[in-house]
A and B are shown apart, each in its own frame.
Chain A
């Protein structure tokens, strides 16, 4: 296990330095350098392992706390139950799954086209000056804390929706508007990376054949970057489905099935936060951990999808 030593010694030097050759070896790489190198590589390794450890520990923790679910609630009552009422010990999460899906799907339907067109504009059309303004603005959007988005939703979007459609203005529509803005930077920045990675020659070939800019974008660039853009969209979806604070502030948190675009609903994440502050050990807490595990599995599925798709990408044009 001494990889760093061999790197700096000349080819003829043995890999493992016997004790009596220590002096000779020191002239090549001093003992302290050797130790430092090894310590550093160990440090880097430890840093890398923290992420892995974090995922494993969190998943194990959530899973362990969620397992009593099978006994306390019953898996079917949990995953297929349509009634959530803590007072009556009913812990069906279908309304929240539906809520999460509705909120995420709508946010994607609005946000993804917005983001992809932004990326196309930045990568294909915009001149340096337009890019210098728009790109930092998009990046800035990514840096706004979600509670600020939520605040914007509560004070601006919800009253507007309420005035237009009646009621208090909390519900999927408000969440769509706020979340779609929120996921724009994720999707657009990653899509732009995908577009930028397409070799210039492909575009030049297209132009040389007499294609217009629109034809080049539509027929050449977009198909070539398709998988990168899908990756970006899936990551944006992950952001939307996991978003908590902003959603909590604008969906209305009613544990009912989706009843209309301006009727309050609840999502998995928002319900976990609301429940967390008062959940007592027992079926209720277990249900919250079960919902957390569910979210974990969903995001794992999304990451996996991205990985599988990215593997396909290498075959298409990078070769």
Chain B
């Protein structure tokens, strides 16, 4: 057989193989399942993700598709563009979002801890001192009873739900000092606080580990009990949002997220508190 002809055959054969493969992949995708699209807060994402995987294993005909775009995007996806079945949010609805007719389902509690370097001797800040620090009015730890050490501010980027919550809890209309380091992630904030002596920042309570110290605010420690009772001033809830008539699959998935399996599992693993607080919690 001439070389050219052989080459052509090989080409043809490989083309056929590719077609076969493509059709296989396509058919695998288009098998008979119902999609439940969950999108929104990156804070809620890990919970929704784990719950989605577990739920999918028990219900092979339903696939839960989770994406994290930020709370605002999640609310828009479920309420305006209707591209999601369930929106997730780490903040309450505000402004025009209240008029979308969304059902709001709290799924977990979260407290925002104000964290400092473990070497810092300050243990408590008043709300007004905290605000003054992040507004750049207090710039040295000695002004709040600490060592003579300049304060290094660590802030989150403006798309962060945690920053949103911190703004509404602490700052109000007071603008943030703009010379703060802006970091796009909880892990990075914790890492920088851990290694920087005069640093202060804020992260979800569930992500506080031994290498950074959480301060009490107005004398109230960010303990589980104080957060779920919302006694701690920087407490918030995480929400699922649906339109008035969620599909049965979506509703079933939500019920699963609210069940003990997820509440005591994924919710706690992600650093948050279950929505139903048990008496045994500290």
**Which residue numbers of A lie inside 8 Å of B, CB to CB?**
85-88, 154, 158-159, 162, 166-170, 248, 252-256, 259, 263-264, 266, 274-275, 277-278, 280
Contact = CB atoms under 8 A, between A and B. Distances in A.
A170 B269 CA distance: 31
Interface string B4-46: 0000000000000000000000000000000000000000000
Contacts of B184: 248, 253, 274
Interface of B: 69-70, 72-73, 150, 152, 154, 157-159, 175, 178-184, 188, 191-192, 195-196, 198-199
A65 to B, nearest CB: 19
Most chain A beta-carbon neighbours within 10 Å: one of B69, B175, B196, B198: B196
A239 B212 CA distance: 37
B152 A167 contact: yes
B89 to A, nearest CB: 13
Given A274-B158, A278-B70, A85 B175 contact: yes
B160 to A, nearest CB: 9
A41 B179 CA distance: 57
A259 B179 contact: yes
A40 B188 CA distance: 52
B159 A168 contact: no
Contacts of B158: 86-87, 274-275, 278
Given A253-B181, A256-B178, A274-B182, A166 B159 contact: no
B195 A162 contact: yes
A106 B47 CA distance: 44
A289 B196 CA distance: 35
Given A168-B152, A168-B199, A264 B180 contact: yes
Most chain B beta-carbon neighbours within 10 Å: one of A169, A248, A256, A278: A278
A interface majority secondary structure: loop
9 contacts: A86-B158, A166-B198, A167-B198, A252-B181, A253-B157, A253-B184, A254-B181, A275-B158, A278-B72
Given A169-B196, A277-B159, A255 B178 contact: yes
Given A254-B180, A275-B158, 9 more contacts: A88-B175, A154-B191, A158-B192, A162-B195, A167-B152, A168-B192, A259-B179, A264-B182, A278-B72
A22 to B, nearest CB: 24
Contacts of B181: 168, 170, 252-254, 264
Contacts of A162: 195-196
Contact of A168 (B70, B72, B154): B154
Contacts of A158: 192
A166 B148 CA distance: 13
B179 A263 contact: yes
